[in-house]
Amino acid sequence: MAWCESQSQVYYCLGLAKNSVLIEKLGPTMAQARARHCLTGPASVRVFTEFEYRTLDSWSCSRRVIGKAEVMAEGENPRFVVTNLPAKGSRARRPDALHAGPAL
């Protein structure tokens, strides 16, 4: 990640191993997925959320994490990725912003 962040216009989206802090942050979203699964029956339900996260000592700063709360007939399947991709709706992702200069 450090190398990617040191490069101009290099984006990353990397899988992130589960831990107790990430599972706790995903808790409300997982509860929502469980409730929707109860209403839909055997179909898989996926609910996504994002939040800032920082490791205790291996990361130099907080980073954007996207969590997936998935509930299937076989059980729960929480997953996480860390990314520096611009969030939905940010100026950097709008087509009209491609040639408009740097985002402020």
Q: Give the C-alpha separation, 29 to 77, whole Å.
A: 12
> What is the residue-wise DSSP string for 16-85?
----HHHHHHHHHHHHHHHHHHHHHTTS-EEEEEEEEE--SSS-SS-EEEEEEEEEETTEE--EEEEE-S
Each residue's pLDDT tens digit, 34-85: 999 999 988 899 999 999 999 988 888 899 999 999 999 999 999 999 999 9
Stated pTM of the model: 0.79
Residue 97 has pLDDT above 80, yes or no: no
Q: Give the C-alpha separation, 21 to 41, whole Å.
A: 29
